[in-house]
Structures are given as structure tokens and as C-alpha cells.
């Protein structure tokens, strides 16, 4: 069943490539039209891994699961390659390529592209961003590579990847975080929302302190934002007003005269109150009669 599916996806290399097609390495070469845009089955031994592969880590368990799927159903989605001399350099689909190698496949369906190194890197990076299983830091690093190595502006990049410019900017800002915090995002310890909140904390020691609190207390993004706000604008403790001596003297005199605790509370601006304490209804009536 798997072999039938694979045959349906692509024609053999020899069926498409004439002698001129084998030598086509640019769109101007003879045979390029017959080669580019077709899905062909390429011998895996003729495929060279992409040296500019933006992804460096491949989960072994996920690769094994993909290899099992390919064994049962074949390579459903072709990889994309660039013609380089007599071989083909991988542009995108390295997981499918590696999983096919694990299965011991001899051929794999592929789209053929003719592109220079800059175009190849851009295609690989943009294709990488479209993946759903990338973490926020991987996406941010890929955006940064598009800026640094492909020389794209944020506006051009947003058009390439189909994202709002503000979205691109938010990802790039994550790279300003301390590496420990970035690792926390990559490992799923905190979310991108937590990271965006932490960006506003410029003091690295304080940033790490809050990061540890997020993990220790399992804080939500909203709670994290409130915590950061409290650190930035700590509430100042109110200064306790000192009661002047003349008020202290009156407080003692009234306490002795009324035979009950009398409290005078006074603020620094002169406002205040006198508090008379009583122990029972009878005591209240006694104090009331004395005041008369």
C-alpha cells in the first residue's frame, strides 16, 4: 500500500530528466523547465542535508513516530530540494528526510527548485516558521536570521511569513530576555505571555527573581503583570503621625478623669479624633453622665 502511494506522488528521476535536465542548475540552463516544479522520486543517497537548516534539534521520539507513519502510508508530503551539480540539496522537509532514512527507504518524492544560496536560506527559514510545533524562541531566532542573513526588514518579513508586523516585533523582543528565561520558554516552563511581561523588567537580577516566582507559585500571565507592576511602583508606607506632647497630656488627663481608656488620633495636617472606650452599657451610661 505504501509503495503504491509513493508511486502516485512522483515519477522516477530518469523519467523526467534528460541529459540536459541532469545538468540544469539554474533557471537559465537547458532543461530547467522540465525539472522545476515537478514532483520526482529522488534516490536518498543523492540528497545532501541543508547546511543552513535553521532547526538543530529533532526529537528522536517524534522522528520514530513519523518514521512509523511513513512506513504505513508513505511520504505524503514531498520534501523540497535544490539541484546542485549531480545531487540535490535539501531546502525543507528534513524531518521527513530523516524519518525516511530510518525506514531504509531508497527514494523519496521531492519538489525540485533552482535557487541561489540566499534564496535557499530564505525558503528554508520561512518554511520553518510555518511549522506549528516551534516554540516562541525558535520562531524569534528564525525571524532574526531572516533579518541578519537574508537582509529583510521587519515589514518585508511580515509579508513573507504572512504575519502582522507587530506580531513579528513581539517575537523579536523575546530575544532581549535573559538566556535563562529564554530557555524557560523553550522548555515550556513559562509561556510567551510571561516572557512578554518580563521584557519590561530591565534589571536582569530582578527579571530572574520574578521568573523564579512565576515557576514556584505557578503564576498566570495576569498575576505576573501585577507582580511586575508592584515591583515598579511599590506602595510607600504611610508615615505614622507622632502625637504632640500637649495631646498626650490631654489624653492622660481625660483617661484619669473618665476612668476609662481615651485615645487621641491625630494626623500631621491637624485632623484627628478622640476615642472613648467603654466596657458595657452601664459603663457607657456612666461616661455619658460625666460628660454632661
> Which grid cell is 292?
454632661
Rounded-to-integer distance, Cα 113 and Cα 111, Å = 7
User: Which residue among 94, 122, 209, 225 is the active-site one?
Assistant: 94
- Using CA atoms, how far residue 42 sits from 23, 48, 79, 112, in Å, is 15, 11, 10, 10
Rounded-to-integer distance, Cα 228 and Cα 219, Å = 12
Rounded-to-integer distance, Cα 151 and Cα 19, Å = 37
Length of the chain: 292
Residues contacting residue 104 through CB under 8 Å, at least 6 positions apart:
none
Phi, psi dihedral angles at 280 (to 5 degrees): -165, 175
Active site residue 4: no
Residue given cell 525539472 in the structure block: 35
Q: Catalytic positions, please?
A: 94
Amino acid at each position: 500500500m505504501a509503495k503504491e502511494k509513493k508511486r502516485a506522488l512522483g515519477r522516477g528521476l530518469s523519467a523526467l530528466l534528460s541529459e540536459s535536465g541532469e545538468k540544469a542548475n539554474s533557471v537559465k540552463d537547458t532543461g530547467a523547465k522540465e525539472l522545476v516544479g515537478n514532483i520526482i522520486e529522488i534516490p536518498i543517497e543523492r540528497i545532501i542535508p541543508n547546511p543552513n537548516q535553521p532547526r538543530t534539534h529533532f526529537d528522536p521520539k517524534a522522528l520514530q513516530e513519523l518514521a512509523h507513519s511513513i512506513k504505513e502510508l508513505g511520504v505524503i508530503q514531498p520534501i523540497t530540494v535544490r539541484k546542485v551539480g549531480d545531487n540535490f540539496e535539501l531546502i525543507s522537509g528534513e524531518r521527513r528526510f530523516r524519518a525516511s532514512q530510518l525506514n531504509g527507504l531508497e527514494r523519496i518524492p521531492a519538489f525540485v527548485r533552482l535557487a541561489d544560496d540566499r534564496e535557499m536560506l530564505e525558503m528554508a527559514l520561512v518554511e520553518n516558521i510555518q511549522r506549528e510545533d516551534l516554540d516562541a524562541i525558535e520562531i524569534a531566532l528564525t525571524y532574526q536570521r531572516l533579518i541578519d542573513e537574508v537582509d529583510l526588514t521587519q515589514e518585508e518579513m511580515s509579508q513573507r511569513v504572512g504575519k502582522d508586523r507587530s506580531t513579528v516585533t513581539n517575537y523579536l523582543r523575546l530575544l532581549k530576555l535573559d538566556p535563562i528565561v529564554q530557555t524557560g520558554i523553550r522548555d515550556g516552563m513559562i509561556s510567551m505571555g510571561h516572557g512578554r511581561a518580563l521584557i519590561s523588567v530591565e534589571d536582569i537580577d530582578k527579571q530572574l527573581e520574578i521568573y523564579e516566582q512565576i515557576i514556584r507559585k505557578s503564576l498566570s500571565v495576569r498575576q505576573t503583570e501585577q507582580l511586575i507592576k508592584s515591583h515598579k511602583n511599590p506602595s510607600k508606607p504611610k508615615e505614622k503621625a507622632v502625637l504632640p506632647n500637649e495631646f498626650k497630656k490631654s489624653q492622660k488627663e481625660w483617661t484619669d478623669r473618665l476612668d476609662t481608656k481615651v485615645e487621641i488620633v491625630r494626623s500631621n495636617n491637624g485632623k484627628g479624633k478622640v476615642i472613648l472606650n467603654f466596657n458595657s452599657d452601664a459603663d457607657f451610661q456612666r461616661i455619658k453622665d460625666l460628660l454632661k
